[in-house]
Chain A
Amino acid sequence: MMDVAVPADVWQDVEPGTEALVEAWLVKEGDRVKAGQVLAKVVIIKANVELTAPAAGVVDRILVAAEETFKAGQPLVRLRPTG
């Protein structure tokens, strides 16, 4: 299993504890995804940011639902790598 979070360098200057928002999921549990595919759109400090799949796999579980908030480092989705 592979937990996917927003990359740390996106958060570099963001104040610790700042919450971001999952705007929308573009995939659902059970979907097969390719490496680099956009999984979700999140909003961090007025920036709309794409969350992409680091590897090909199947979406095992969405950990933070749309319109819910999350913090730096928090996994948003669990992928089951394929291939």
Chain B
Amino acid sequence: MIAGAGVRAKTGAAVEQDWNERQLAQQVRAAVWQVWTYLEPSIVLGCSQRTMLPAAGAHRGREVLLRRSGGGAVLAGPWMLGLSVALPVGHGLWSPDVIASYRWLGELLAAVLREGGVLASALPPPQARAMAPTDGLQWACFGGLSPWEVVAGGRKIAGLAQVRSRNGVLLSAGVLLSAPDWALLCTVLGRPPAQIASLASVTTSWAEQNGDTAMAAALPQHLDAGLRAALRAGEISGG
């Protein structure tokens, strides 16, 4: 059984993080998902980045949150689509292996991007390992590449993370629609100005890759439909 699907448009990253928390607060009984678009920029740090929380007053008016999943800082905003998927333990798309768990979602994102004319692919582990990380950018989610994350033209367009608990697994993703305000991210987190250009050079977006402009506005619905189909198929294959 699948339940609780949809697109939550022009919301805030805090609403998304709250939704994510609630999914694993109790046993996940059916696959649920949500596609997010954001009205305003927010910085969402990985669970191991507590020490990067800016001092009060250094936020420059921007929301800075700490998420439960690992990985680097994400700059959510109007330039990004977010996805959250909670799976019950034992679902057909659930895996005990942390890396295998990312595969279906990375491949789904790449397939939807390709439908829109973006030549995207999800990176199998050997390819992800072969792509050397850019020095000094590991603090940013989009500054590094992990297995099954999605690239276009060799640059990252979608990042993945997950939380695993006895209650289920929560997978999350961010897809770049247009160029993020990397200057804002670097400024708020006190990173060297040179890293603004570095982040731009290792990332790309739907707009930059000339994704279908007619499909862009409907991309959340396309992802929603893709998730529904994948989760239904996974339900069947998982018995």
Give A contacts to B, CB under 8 Å: 7, 9-15, 21, 23, 36, 38, 41, 43-50, 52, 67
Q: Are B96 and A50 in contact (CB under 8 A)?
A: no
Partner of A15 from B71, B100, B125, B164 at Cβ < 8 Å: B125
Give B contacts to A, CB under 8 Å: 46-48, 68-71, 96-101, 125, 129, 146-147, 160-166
Q: Are A47 and B129 in contact (CB under 8 A)?
A: no
Q: Are A50 and B46 in contact (CB under 8 A)?
A: no
CA distance A36 to B167 in the complex (A): 12
**Distance to closest chain A CB from B231 (angstroms):** 19
Partner of B98 from A14, A21, A36, A52 at Cβ < 8 Å: A14
Q: Are A7 and B96 in contact (CB under 8 A)?
A: yes
CA distance A23 to B100 in the complex (A): 22
CA distance A47 to B128 in the complex (A): 16
Q: Are B70 and A48 in contact (CB under 8 A)?
A: yes
Q: Are A23 and B47 in contact (CB under 8 A)?
A: yes
Q: Are B96 and A10 in contact (CB under 8 A)?
A: yes
Partner of A36 from B146, B161, B162, B166 at Cβ < 8 Å: B166
Q: Which residues of A contact B125 (CB under 8 A)?
A: 13, 15
Interface centre among B48, B68, B96, B146 (most CB of A within 10 A): B48
CA distance A43 to B69 in the complex (A): 8
Q: Are A13 and B99 in contact (CB under 8 A)?
A: yes
Q: Are A9 and B47 in contact (CB under 8 A)?
A: no
Q: Are B161 and A46 in contact (CB under 8 A)?
A: yes
CA distance A47 to B104 in the complex (A): 15
Q: Are A49 and B166 in contact (CB under 8 A)?
A: no
User: What would 11 more interface pairs be, CB under 8 Å, given A12-B100, A15-B125, A49-B164?
Assistant: A9-B96, A10-B96, A10-B97, A12-B99, A13-B125, A14-B98, A36-B166, A38-B165, A48-B162, A48-B164, A50-B166
CA distance A66 to B238 in the complex (A): 36
CA distance A12 to B96 in the complex (A): 9
CA distance A77 to B125 in the complex (A): 29
